[in-house]
Amino acid sequence: MGNAREVRSLISGLSLTAVTAALALAIVFVLTVATSGAAYAQTFQVIYNFTGGPDGAQPYAGLVMRGKSLYGTTFSGNEGSNWGDVYQLRQIGSGWIFTQLQLFDGTLSSGVTFGPDGNLYGTSPNNIAGYKYGYIYNLTPPVSAVCVATHCPWVATVLYAFSGGSDGASPRYGSLIFDQAGNFYGTTSVGGSSGNGVVYKMSPSGGGWTEQPMYSFAGTPDGANPYGGLVFDNAGNLYGMTTQGGSGGFGAVFEVSPSGGSFTEKVIYNFQGASDGDYPTAGLIFDNAGNLYGTTSDGGTGGGGTVFELTPSGGSWSYNLIYSFTGGARCGPWGTLTLDGAGNLYGTTVCDGANNAGNVFELSPSGGGGWTYSSLHDFTGGNDGRRAYGNVTIGPAGNLYGTASRGGTHDNGVIWEYTP
């Protein structure tokens, strides 16, 4: 499975009539400027409502921004097929134009990443037509000289299909990460030698790609079932979290380091399921001082998840609880935090907030090592959205962008913008 295989039609399961109708509707979406929705407190507005048609539904993942365009995925939708898609939302003046880049035979729960070649890369946890253990794909922009249709899908290629064995299975919510040599890295939630997930590396090889399992989780004491992505430190070590396992069974923060041509894993923090939280689903981020920041979706003093900091100290790491949410079990943040240039942290929750429908929050450093919490927007569960699983993206002008998986005018999710 190491060689790339071009997918001639990822919508082969649809009838020709259905395909034609879907593409015709997609053209309508391309030509339609998505006007801004109602503003909330002069700062929050919905800039796109998913219909559940060719544009998809339930955007679990967050967004990546390049230029004036946002890129993301939907988990399902597409006229009841429950297939996900990759889309672009491009800003034109004060409006936005939605384009479906590719429809996939399977759900999409993770976001997309731009590679050094300008292509988009992502994963799917499953596929109806043969890749039941998940796969890795990339999308290449169409050649404009030969693209004569108004709607020009990007070319999709399956780079690797997981077998469900030692190579892993079912990559979940974490986006892929590239190194300077053009290799990329990710996690699978299950599979591996013990069935508890793997950390893997994808390397270009002979015009294709080769997958290498870097570490296979045993469950105890090293952790089990990583859902989120990975992050590099300056020395080339990778860091991530597992949702379960570890010494207490509540998840762990781990480090994977190159060692003599192989790799070693070390747990740097074990969650206790108490005030520190449990069930961490997101990835981690570094600040300029080398501190790690992350979240848990459950636990904490309020029972609704936490935001925490890990500080390196004498070869080990010290845990600091920054904030504890009160929304209920697994209502806290599922997406990776975002750090701005001033040291503020941004994220979303699934069902915290004033209306128990999730919110967008900011944590700002204050004197004495403390943090100040602000809820920037509390979702109402109506037209503004609800159940936000993804990360927050910061635009060049300082505006924040993100998704909510449900709510909106069709209850199929929204893309939102927050203007400070």
**Does the structure show a pLDDT above 60 at 6?**
no
CA–CA separation, 389 vs 223, rounded Å?
Answer: 22
Going by pLDDT thresholds of 50, 70 and 90, the confidence category of residue 131 is confident
- What predicted TM-score, i.e. pTM, was given to this entire model? 0.91
Q: What is the pLDDT of residue 367?
A: 81
Express each pLDDT in 215-251 by its tens digit. 999 999 999 999 999 999 999 999 999 999 999 999 9
Maximum alpha-carbon separation in the chain = 65
User: Can you tell me the mean pLDDT for 48-73?
Assistant: 96
Q: What is the pLDDT of residue 211?
A: 97
- Structural domain range at position 43: 5-418
Q: What is the pLDDT of residue 36?
A: 40
Residue 62's Cβ-count burial label (10 Å; 0-12, 13-18, 19+) is buried
Express each pLDDT in 229-238 by its tens digit. 999 999 999 9
* Mean pLDDT, all residues of the chain: 89
Q: What is the pLDDT of residue 151?
A: 65
Q: DSSP string of 339-382? A: E-TTS-EEEEESS-STTSS-EEEEEEE-GGG-EEEEEEEE--SS
Q: What is the pLDDT of residue 80?
A: 66
Q: What is the pLDDT of residue 37?
A: 41
Within 10 A of 61 (CB to CB), how many other CB atoms are there? 27
Q: Determine which of 167-171, 276-280, 325-329, 347-351 has the lowest per-residue pLDDT on average.
A: 325-329
Higher pLDDT, 40 or 51: 51
Query: Percent of the chain having pLDDT more than 90?
Result: 79
Chain mean position to CA 345 = 17
CATH number at residue 212: 2.130.10.10
Inter-residue contact 47 to 40 (CB < 8 Å): no
Peptide bond into 221 cis (omega under 30): yes
Strand partners, 254: 240, 267
Q: What is the pLDDT of residue 23?
A: 39
CA–CA separation, 300 vs 278, rounded Å?
Answer: 8
> How many domains would you assign to the chain?
1
Q: Is the dihedral of CA 203, 206, 209, 213 positive or negative?
A: negative
Higher pLDDT, 21 or 372: 372
In the sheet that 393-394 helps form, which strands lie side by side, from edge to edge? 39-40, 44-49, 414-418, 400-404, 393-394
Closest CA to 253 of 235, 278, 236, 233: 278
User: Can you tell me the mean pLDDT for 82-86?
Assistant: 88
Inter-residue contact 216 to 196 (CB < 8 Å): yes
**Does the structure show a pLDDT above 60 at 341?**
yes
Question: Token pair of 287, please?
Answer: 């600040």
CA–CA separation, 406 vs 62, rounded Å?
Answer: 13
Say which residues have a Cβ less than 8 Å from residue 143's Cβ, sequence separation at least 6: none
Closest CA to 416 of 399, 395, 402: 402
Phi-psi sector, 42: left (phi>0), alpha (psi -120 to 50), beta: left
Rounded alpha-carbon distances, angstroms, from residue 74 to 60, 70, 319, 404? 7, 13, 35, 11
Query: Which residue type sits at 16?
Result: L
Going by pLDDT thresholds of 50, 70 and 90, the confidence category of residue 12 is very low
